[in-house]
Amino acid sequence: MKKKTSFSTKGVRADIGDLTIYRILANRYADAVGPFVFLDHIAPKVHLSSLKSGTGAHPHRGIATLSYIIEGEDEHFDSAGNYAKVYSGGVQWMKAGNGIIHDETLNIDSQTDSNRTHAFQFWINLPSKNKAEKPEYLAIQSDEVPQKQLPNDSGWIKVIAGSYEDLKSIIPNYSKQFLYHIQVEAGKEFSISIDEKIEVAAFLTTKSTILNDSEFQAGDFVEFDRNAGEIVIENKWYEANDIILFGGEPYTEPIVAEGPFVMNSPAEIAGAYSDFYAGKYGKIKDRKGKA
């Protein structure tokens, strides 16, 4: 049985510097999909020259951030001393835990001739017991992201988080979660089964797509019902088409979000701000070790 659509919606513009950004989640219909409480789509863009676009140094607490760089180069600094660059196809994952300051900048990929950027940033809500843990960090390059071909030459699937069949991401799971990048070839289709009560949504990156017999447009965020069933992706285009599919088990604890913090109560939000202003999250050091 095919799953039914609960709703579809578009993102809201939230540009930063030279980057065109659409805030997809939270939206007017949903505050979360499984453990995912935030999604920004950094839309595909061609740049005439090198750029350095980012939010600047800022704190987080209570979540893990996940940046998936489809095209471009993402540079990461944080107050736990982590530094790395990932390139097109790579992933930056950071567990903020009990508090961290980080800075990410997106640029064109210095390893290729491409002058395009295209990326996603997710926030993954942590269970309350994990919000008090120390920060952690992973830089995952493109060739480290699990990937496999789909049956009948239908395309491929990348497992950014969670697992699919024999593929498993190295990103830790604090609850049942999955984040897939699926490419379906022209004239092909792909079907995936979703368990009962699992929350799941699709984001259509650049082209319209048929999901369970209904056509949705590029830039649409589509959420499905909680019943067990299939999601069938049909590509009627003359070239390959991409979608992002993500979700997981419902987050059952209270959610209180304010600014860069996602906690379980207003008191914990106040504590997150208090600790930040008291300097307990540390300072970012540059590549030369200077604060």
Phi, psi at 115, each rounded to 5°: -115, 30
56 closest CA partner among 75, 37, 72 = 75
Q: What is the pLDDT along the chain (291 residues), one digit of tens a residue?
A: 999 999 999 999 999 888 899 999 999 999 999 999 999 999 999 987 777 666 789 999 999 999 999 999 999 999 999 999 999 999 999 999 999 999 999 999 989 888 999 999 999 999 999 999 999 999 999 999 999 999 999 999 999 999 999 999 999 999 999 999 999 999 999 999 999 999 999 999 999 999 999 999 999 999 999 999 999 999 998 999 999 999 999 999 999 999 999 999 999 999 999 999 999 999 997 654 444
Q: Edge to edge, what strands does the sheet with 229-234 contain?
A: 189-194, 229-234, 209-211, 214-216
- Residues 28 and 26: their CA atoms lie apart, in Å, by 7
Rg of the chain over Cα atoms, rounded to whole angstroms, equals 19
Question: Is 106:70 a contact under the CB 8 Å cutoff?
Answer: no
Which residues, other chains included, contact 144 with Cβ-Cβ below 8 Å and sequence gap of 6+?
A: 90, 170
Helix, strand, coil abundance in the chain, percent, nearest 5: 10, 50, 45
- Walk me through the domains of the chain, giving residue ranges and CATH numbers: 5-277 (2.60.120.10)
Q: Edge to edge, what strands does the sheet with 221-224 contain?
A: 5-9, 221-224, 199-204, 241-248, 177-184, 155-161, 147-149
